[in-house]
């Protein structure tokens, strides 16, 4: 989806369990848009691969990159560091590629301040009960982690008003269609 001069940057945020990763992965494949791979200090979940899903770093590696100014944004979320490497975004945007950043709300606002033309898209579930069911359904987190994610989601939902568009993830199919429509119709 090259534009010749400068690509579009889409920032997708929302509570953990809202379905962002699934939807972004599907739409990215449909439209041929790059997903900027984030870095994290959390342990990989089953099936996740370093360099594809995340760059899995130790805390020391992450902090060294932060000290060297290698991050476009970073934050501590659910007790782990998450960040977007500048190298994952800047050269792609300048070469005309579109890029999707799937990042937390704090990071989304940090990037928007640096890239005012970036498009902010917020994902959420229809209800908190749906969010809890999705988190439990993943069967990847301890009860303590689930409770932390639910507690943090209340804070994250307060940022929705800072985002241009909200997608309520009722079903994967509806949400994919909505995100695809936003990218194809609104911004191209």
- Measured over the CA atoms of residue 23, residue 168, residue 19 and residue 54, the dihedral's sign is positive
Asked whether residue 18 is marked as a ligand-binding residue, the answer is: yes
Contact at 8 Å (CB) between 16 and 78?
A: yes
20 is annotated as contributing to ligand binding: yes
Structure tokens at 102: 């799937």
Query: Measured between alpha carbons, how far is 165 from 150 in angstroms, rounded to an integer?
Result: 22
Q: CA-CA distance, 75 to 105, in Å (whole number)?
A: 10
Instruction: Answer whether 100's CB lies under 8 Å from 12's CB.
Output: yes
14 marked among binding-site residues: yes
Q: Indicate the SS3 state at residue 73.
A: strand
19 is in an annotated binding site: yes
Angstrom distance (rounded) from CA 118 to CA 7: 10
Is residue 87 part of an annotated ligand binding site?
no
Q: Pick out the residues of the known binding site for ATP.
A: 14-21
Q: Pick out the residues of the known binding site.
A: 14-21
């Amino acid at each position: 989806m090259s534009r010749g001069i400068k690509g579009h940057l889409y920032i997708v945020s929302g509570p953990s369990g809202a379905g962002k990763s699934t939807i972004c992965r599907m739409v990215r494949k449909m439209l041929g848009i790059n997903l900027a791979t984030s870095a994290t200090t959390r342990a990989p979940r089953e099936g996740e691969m370093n360099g594809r899903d995340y760059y899995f770093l130790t805390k020391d590696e992450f902090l060294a990159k932060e000290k060297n100014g290698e991050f476009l944004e970073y934050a501590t979320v659910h007790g782990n560091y998450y960040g977007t490497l500048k190298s994952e975004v800047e050269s792609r945007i300048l070469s005309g590629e579109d890029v999707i950043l799937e990042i937390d709300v704090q990071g989304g606002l940090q990037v928007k301040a640096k890239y005012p033309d970036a498009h902010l898209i917020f994902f959420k579930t229809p209800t908190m009960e749906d969010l809890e069911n999705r988190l439990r359904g993943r069967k990847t987190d301890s009860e303590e982690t689930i409770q932390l994610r639910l507690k943090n989601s209340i804070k994250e939902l307060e940022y929705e008003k800072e985002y241009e568009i909200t997608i309520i993830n009722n079903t994967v199919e509806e949400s994919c269609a909505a995100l695809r429509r936003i990218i194809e119709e609104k911004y191209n």
